Amino acid sequence: KAGVTQTPRYLIKTRGQQVTLSCSPISGHRSVSWYQQTPGQGLQFLFEYFSETQRNKGNFPGRFSGRQFSNSRSEMNVSTLELGDSALYLCASSTGTSGITDTQYFGPGTRLTVL
Amino acid sequence: AQSVTQLGSHVSVSEGALVLLRCNYSSSVPPYLFWYVQYPNQGLQLLLKYTSAATLVKGINGFEAEFKKSETSFHLTKPSAHMSDAAEYFCAVSGNTNAGKSTFGDGTTLTVKP
């Protein structure tokens, strides 16, 4: 079974631009979560989508948004980029169902650099 | 609300020595607890998870962790460190009934000396 894939792996943008990151979950997984990882703040939860609906949301400004498609693929968008948005953005997929079988599997991440 | 605290941002051990990485959690509901490992420029790989089935959890690569409710701890151990264990380790907690929203600790960088 293929793992979680994220594209692109690396991105360089300038302040004020916007960016879209993509995540393809493991086949059969309906939940996709996004995390931001920075040296200063560590791993921070952005949001989770399940069956095309945002189910959980972290404490990030409205510039960060996402969506999920009917095939469970997810995109994350950041508008009006700031220098502080430079980070590794990780996507994780899981079945999204309750119970002990639910485990998140992470993709390799997208490294975003804002200049 | 849930949180995790990893004690020690850097741990250094000699090859063949015991590895002990500490994690304490706080959760208002019975927690699901996880340990992940991250190698440079890679995503997170699940080492093991606690789901209340057993307090001693065995994971991959010889790692195990013991859930101690009285101490709110979930420390990660490995009897004998290998050079390939050098990486960053994260403890995480999920208070929901699914893993979609996990709260991570700050991470512990493990260095293994030859």
Say whether B43 sits in a helix, a strand or coil: coil
| Cβ–Cβ below 8 Å for A33 and B101 | yes
- The pair of structure tokens assigned to A53 is 């609906």
Closest by Cβ to A104, choosing from B52, B102, B106: B102
Interface test with A, best of B44, B48, B103 (most A CBs within 10 A): B44
Give the H/E segment covering residue A66: strand A64-68
Q: Is B60 on the interface with A (CB under 8 A)?
A: no
Average pLDDT, rounded, for chain B: 91
Report the alpha-carbon distance of residue A90 to residue A23 in Å, rounded: 9
A38 bridge partner residues: A42
Contact A89, A109 (CB under 8 A): yes
CA distance A52 to A73: 9
Q: What local confidence, expressed as pLDDT, does residue B32 receive?
A: 86
B28 confidence band (pLDDT: 50, 70, 90):
confident
pLDDT tens figures, B65-84 = 999 989 999 999 999 999 99
**A interface test, pick of B48, B52, B101, B104 with most A CB neighbours within 10 Å:** B101
Q: Which residues of chain A register pLDDT less than 70?
A: 1, 98-101
| Residues B104, A56: C-beta atoms closer than 8 Å | no
CA B87/CA B98 separation, integer angstroms: 27
Task: Determine the residue of chain A that is closest to B48 in CA distance.
Answer: A103
For residue B59, the chain A residues in CB contact (below 8 A) are none
- Encode pLDDT of A43-56 as tens digits: 999 999 999 999 98
Q: Which residue in B26, B32, B22 sits closest to B2, CA to CA?
A: B26
Helix H, strand E, coil C: the string for A24-40 is ECCCCCCEEEEEEEECC
A-facing residues of B in 28-47 (CB < 8 A) are: 32, 34, 36, 41-46
- B62 interfacial to chain A (CB closer than 8 Å): no
The token pair at A34 is 């996004």
Answer for the pair B24, B75: CB distance below 8 angstroms, yes or no.
no
B99: β partners: none
pLDDT for A40 equals 86
DSSP string, B45-106: EEEEEE-SS-SEEE-GGG-EEEEEGGGTEEEEEESS--GGG-EEEEEEEE-SSSSSS-EE--
